Amino acid sequence: MKAVRFHGPQDIRFEEVDLPKIGQDEVLVKVEAVLTCGTDVKMYRRGWPMAKPPLIFGHEFAGVVAEVGKNVTQFRVGQRVVAANSAPCNLCYFCKIGKPNLCEHLLETLIGFTVDGAYAEYVRVPERIVKQNMYELPSHVSFEEAALLEPLACVVNGNDVANIKIGDAVVIIGAGPIGLIHIQLAKIKGATNVICVDLKEDRLKTAVAVGADNIVDASKENQMDRVKELTNGLGADVVIEAVGLPQTWESAVEMTRKAGTAVLFGGCPSGTRITLDTQRIHYGDLTIKGIFHHTPLCVKRAYELITSGMFKGKPLITDRMPLSELEQALNLMSEGRCVKMAITP
């Protein structure tokens, strides 16, 4: 089959590889759509410590069941399906304390990172994922919209800890794919003043298209002053950082009103540190939360959001390209010239 493999930083190759072999509890999926993700751009640019090249990457996918292992009973050949990129072991310490997003064995079967992914004609879905995080797709949901399952599940997890209430003012920093999903979920939770902060005009336009009530162009205006203006001088009830830079993490905390919550969602480069005003945290009664990845429950709820039509995936998928042009697609994404690209093998 044809696939794009990561051979090292800046070295990805469209090439012929063997069809994946599946085990008795696994499923082979013919990929119909796979989405580019910021993490894929990072992998392409800098590599990833746990990724052993050559590796087929790509982890946001949907397709059709091509083969099932002999013990698989929930799925059959020909079914349209979507799956998340990981599933927990349910046995380790973190699984037992109810934090399966931090499962110590997550990396053993992480599609597109530690096992071959979906930038290919076919992808092997490991047993744990088949059992916990794979779903049949109803006919009204397109493959590319369904492929948003994984990032949406991560945002559902982040939205849970943000504790957004009806009528809240919520700042979302960053209008990339993750920020755009956060905007939608904040609206679904009942926030009446969703303020999106970004540096690029076209991204802010998309933010309005998916539901932002106000936008702040931080390249042109003082973001802190504007957020204060838009929140009666108080700061926002909830601020969600969806960029992944130390300076925006700091801004998120600064924009949060007294007794409010800052969710530091975006992953920063490793080794980075932030500086916080201790007085503001103490006298301001601030809640500051980190959050990582998703749980099977988040994946299920993301699936409900997609299949019910409550979550709108279409505005996030701005372009389409064939698998052979993946490198170009990742470059366009890293230059901010598309939100997400749907790749078709």
Residue 1 found at the interface with Zn ion (CB under 5 A): no
Is 17 within 8 Å of 1 (Cβ atoms)?
A: yes
Q: Which is nearer to Zn ion, 35 or 216 (CB)?
A: 35
Q: Which is nearer to Zn ion, 57 or 75 (CB)?
A: 57
Indicate the length of the chain as a whole number.
Answer: 345
Q: Which is nearer to Zn ion, 177 or 260 (CB)?
A: 177
* Binding flags for Zn ion, 59-98, as an x/- string (CB under 5 A): -----------------------------xx--x--x---
Q: Using the structure block, give the residue that is written with the tokens 């007085």.
A: 279
Q: Which is nearer to Zn ion, 152 or 173 (CB)?
A: 152
Residue count, binding to Zn ion (CB under 5 A): 7
AA letter at 150: E
CB of 216 to Zn ion, least distance (A): 26
Q: Return the H-helix or E-strand segment holding 297.
A: helix 296-308
Q: Pick left, alpha or beta for residue 234 (phi over 0 → left; psi -120 to 50 → alpha; otherwise beta).
A: alpha
* Cα three-residue angle 302-342-36, rounded to 5 degrees: 75
Cα distance between residue 336 and residue 319, in whole Å: 12
CB of 63 to Zn ion, least distance (A): 16
CB of 59 to Zn ion, least distance (A): 6
* Binding flags for Zn ion, 101-120, as an x/- string (CB under 5 A): --x-----------------
Cα distance between residue 342 and residue 345, in whole Å: 10
Which stretch in 30-38, 76-84, 157-165, 314-322 sits in contact with Zn ion by CB under 5 A? 30-38
Is 117 within 8 Å of 57 (Cβ atoms)?
A: yes
CB of 106 to Zn ion, least distance (A): 7
CB of 67 to Zn ion, least distance (A): 25
Q: Which is nearer to Zn ion, 88 or 117 (CB)?
A: 88
Residue 199 found at the interface with Zn ion (CB under 5 A): no
Pair of tokens at residue 345: 């093998």
CB of 297 to Zn ion, least distance (A): 14
Residue 37 found at the interface with Zn ion (CB under 5 A): yes
Strands (E), 75-220: 80-83, 122-125, 134-136, 169-173, 193-198, 214-217
Cα distance between residue 221 and residue 138, in whole Å: 45
Please tell me what DSSP assigns to residue 120. Answer: B
For Zn ion, the binding residues (CB under 5 A) are: 37, 39, 88-89, 92, 95, 103
